[in-house]
Structure 1
């Protein structure tokens, strides 16, 4: 049985390699094609490419094509790819400088002069040396130059090549994996994911190196915290893994750190390495284990039940068709009298940010208080953060973001969405460290995210440098965080309703939705979403279909987490 299973797995892997090769835009026959998976026992359960080395008397074009194909083989620091290079540049070429990712078929290789070739690609994304992915948008084609010369043995080799590698999307996602480096919010309460892309073969070492020796991405600086400090960096850039237990060797300075710091370090390492299949982590100094245990952090998960407003109640649906509502003590009674069109409830369920039918933004407390905060018009749906600040912005003035303190104090948020002409939606992440928005920049609508900068007291002071995550077909009628790393926006440009799901630091995808959707909220499971249409019908996704979950829903509320 075991032998049969191994044969089936090997056959399946071979089929996958053939599929990837066929759609990769690279030669599908000939001697320079990347292709074979290594045996299962060596692949550690995943697909690994073994690109072919140069063949004798290969043409310059075949050498360039083979070099590009060999980018799919990171084994031994891309040793096969280096065989296509002249001896004097093999150690100079840096494959870890980054990855240019393109859609299959969107590349051409042409000769521009004797021994000179240009590879033109239309990138969909780029990945830098730290593993951070940047969406390319409509940046257009880029050209990469290669120079070749015949060597003393008469063989053509590349004498000049750009650092980094080039992969189509299919091969990229086969070779590279997406891993979240985990950092803390400034209060050390939540873990904040910082998505990176690393070769799957070296995932554990890359994750530890990025977390311990690196730090958060530049766009997150000032918004997150890390327990790793100078003097307690990696003692060796290698993380052995045995029986799914990773051994992380640290510098001697780690001995002097307090237990609280060590526990936070352990927490960051364990949660970050779990994405690579690591079950446990040993932090070591001179091969001796450090006493540390992962701490409990507050979750950003939400209640699996939809939080809704019906004609006469506000609370969680506990029965089909919305007939049974479980109310939130105090808050439900305070919200029912309000003619609300948007509601977002804080994690403790003690207050809610509300946009009423007259367009004003208010904060409603479980003690029955209602404080009117913003009457600028027209305002987008408000968002409430973990500190109790209500975020509000007019659709026609994206830079005029204001955060209202729990006592109503108005705080202008500096550097909000520079260059944007309009904004259709804005939401703060459940951990309070990031804010996302759909804005019009020039002639396009795009999804952006930026870090929230705060004072020591937690007062929002400004936004960091924003990141564009993707281009949308039109303005968003709804925007929501599905989990700590994923956003969903609903658009209806051209009469075609669509749900655009986007991972921060990853790829996005679009799918059709029912007609006339007005709101969205993170739902059933991690990454799940629920939608409400203009007729009050609530939908939940079941596979590729949208199921009618309930009716008579006036407002689908957004949850900013769950009580402790």
Structure 2
């Protein structure tokens, strides 16, 4: 590939160096405090040259295609024959390849140029990303032929574009489209990757078009079917994005209020947008903008714990345990979970029972310091929620339901209400697998399921369809997320778009910690060598590790700092 991007950067650096002089005289003036976002650097696109070789034509086309996301692909089309220019759709699919040299093969007899491409990820025409497993290769073919002027041109190619990973990160942005939970109270996000050029237009268009099929039944939107932008451009002037909707985009008063809020939350998260002005036929979509949506609940700073055979709480500084009269944990208690209101806990007993307790409902003031505790008076009272053959660890959703599933080849996942009513939700797509984790998202609209299919770990997110009252009705077909994930021992949501997966050492001293972005990329970090459980409040910087020796560690820069000891398990809400 003929890369001219470095030369452009070098020229820009020289220009900046020539003018970056700090003034030493003159008046001191107060600034506005606002810093405009820098324009993204994009590859320089150059059209074909006279008598370019076949290799130069195809590699030049690939380079110009990447630059086309910041313009209109006009230069890239110069590499194509006239019929191919009309047929080619560069936005049908984007293949992101690992940066580096591409392997090219040219068959002169057939005029076919074939590239072997190491795939990092793929995007569809709506900006939905699917990560590729390590070693994934794609074969891209270009049919070359002589044009009327006896110049080489590409006459046959598949729709879509090929972009190097380094370039992709310069010309695309992750955008969070905002939808609402079925009860209309909570933001449910969906991440898309959209071109930075005209990003507000792209984002508004995709938001109005609605959620992806895998999520559609678990959320609500203020845009009726058939909604669209009246003008295919959202103009941003002085930080104000002006969105003009087609007439059919105006629904009921409640829908209009929600649609305005969705646009406002989605677009003001973009660089350079502070306000949103939404009109239908020149009339404001709503005259009384309201903030009815809240973000997903963030766990309280107090965590439930197991310590010395008892249930307790930890507020970040002090450990307190249940009084002697409450009793000890049942033998074999493991995998603690806590409700978002802090009044209930659930945990496994052995592997076949999920039980619940309200022993912590009185909060930390109802507990005692470990030094003041004596011998527990018998075993604490618990309520059996689920009995099974072998159940995965429990997790709470914001409605108070406890979730679990059978480990071996289940055909459903299980949700148990606060009053003990069990609901089995069809999940026959899990047949033939071993399920390891079932964790509801904090907004309650999604469920992450970690399973094993043979030796392969599969991480999937599925919609949770609920009644208006929050009762789970069904679980949808899943979307696979993450890539290159090994054995998982624990899983949590760390925010509304990120999942943390704790791995197993598997013969080495290091324990992997994967952060999976739903609709985005996977990053790998290292946990402490003997980590056995994780929990978090909000964001990957809040992840807390529990080690096999009872020490609790939290993030401290790039390392882990010990903050407590002697603890067997610890869980923030969720």
Fold-level similarity (TM above 0.5): yes
Q: 1:286 aligns with which of 265, 281, 285?
A: 281
Q: Say if 1:288 and 1:473 are closer, same or farther in 2 by CA, change over 3 A.
A: closer
Give the equivalent residue in structure 2 for 1:245: 240
- 8 Å contact kept, 1:270–1:294: no
Q: Take 1:476 and 1:117, find their aligned partners in 2: how far apart are those partners?
A: 42
Q: 2:144 aligns with which of 130, 144, 148?
A: 148
Give the equivalent residue in structure 2 for 1:410: 422
Q: Say if 1:255 and 1:169 are closer, same or farther in 2 by CA, change over 3 A.
A: closer
Q: Take 1:142 and 1:306, find their aligned partners in 2: how far apart are those partners?
A: 49
- 8 Å contact kept, 1:398–1:416: yes
Q: Take 1:157 and 1:334, find their aligned partners in 2: how far apart are those partners?
A: 81
- Cα distance, 1:416 vs structure 2: 4.8
- 8 Å contact kept, 1:315–1:332: no
Structure 1 SS opposite 2:203: helix
Q: 1:356 aligns with which of 341, 349, 352?
A: 349
- Cα distance, 1:284 vs structure 2: 1.1
Give the equivalent residue in structure 1 for 2:454: 442
Give the equivalent residue in structure 1 for 2:561: 547
Structure 2 SS opposite 1:153: coil
Q: Take 1:470 and 1:356, find their aligned partners in 2: how far apart are those partners?
A: 31
Q: Take 1:97 and 1:276, find their aligned partners in 2: how far apart are those partners?
A: 24
- Deviates further, 177-186 or 361-370: 361-370
Give the equivalent residue in structure 2 for 1:276: 270
- 8 Å contact kept, 2:42–2:167: no
Q: Say if 1:416 and 1:501 are closer, same or farther in 2 by CA, change over 3 A.
A: farther
> Which structure would you say has the larger Rg?
2
- 8 Å contact kept, 2:241–2:275: yes
Q: Take 2:443 and 2:299, find their aligned partners in 1: how far apart are those partners?
A: 16
Give the equivalent residue in structure 2 for 1:190: 186
Q: 1:396 aligns with which of 397, 405, 408?
A: 408
Q: Take 1:411 and 1:257, find their aligned partners in 2: how far apart are those partners?
A: 34
The alignment's C-alpha RMSD in Å is 2.9
Q: Take 1:141 and 1:376, find their aligned partners in 2: how far apart are those partners?
A: 42
TM-score (norm 1): 0.85
- Cα distance, 1:528 vs structure 2: 3.4
Unmatched segments (≥5 aa) in structure 1: 1-25
Give the equivalent residue in structure 2 for 1:19: none
- Cα distance, 1:540 vs structure 2: 1.1
Give the equivalent residue in structure 1 for 2:507: 494
Q: Take 2:429 and 2:551, find their aligned partners in 1: how far apart are those partners?
A: 33
- Cα distance, 1:557 vs structure 2: 0.6
- Cα distance, 1:431 vs structure 2: 0.8
Give the equivalent residue in structure 2 for 1:433: 445
Q: Take 1:332 and 1:273, find their aligned partners in 2: how far apart are those partners?
A: 54
Residues matched between the structures, number:
524
Q: Take 1:243 and 1:544, find their aligned partners in 2: how far apart are those partners?
A: 39
Structure 2 SS opposite 1:494: coil
Give the equivalent residue in structure 1 for 2:23: none
Q: Take 1:318 and 1:161, find their aligned partners in 2: how far apart are those partners?
A: 59
Give the equivalent residue in structure 2 for 1:267: 261
Q: Take 2:293 and 2:268, find their aligned partners in 1: how far apart are those partners?
A: 15
Q: Say if 1:352 and 1:335 are closer, same or farther in 2 by CA, change over 3 A.
A: farther
Q: 2:338 aligns with which of 334, 345, 356?
A: 345
Q: Say if 1:473 and 1:281 are closer, same or farther in 2 by CA, change over 3 A.
A: closer
Give the equivalent residue in structure 1 for 2:95: 100
Q: Does structure 1 residue 376 correspond to structure 2 residue 376?
A: no
Q: Does structure 1 residue 461 correspond to structure 2 residue 490?
A: no
TM-score (norm 2): 0.84
Unmatched segments (≥5 aa) in structure 2: 17-34, 363-380
Q: Say if 1:437 and 1:333 are closer, same or farther in 2 by CA, change over 3 A.
A: farther
Give the equivalent residue in structure 2 for 1:17: none
Structure 2 SS opposite 1:413: strand
- Deviates further, 203-212 or 300-309: 300-309
Per-residue deviation, residues 282-324 of structure 1 (Å, max 9, x unmatched) = 10123343324141423325247361414466234232xxx35
Per-residue deviation, residues 222-248 of structure 1 (Å, max 9, x unmatched) = 111111114653111110001121111
Give the equivalent residue in structure 1 for 2:375: none
- Cα distance, 1:140 vs structure 2: 3.6
- 8 Å contact kept, 2:304–2:338: no
Give the equivalent residue in structure 2 for 1:318: 316
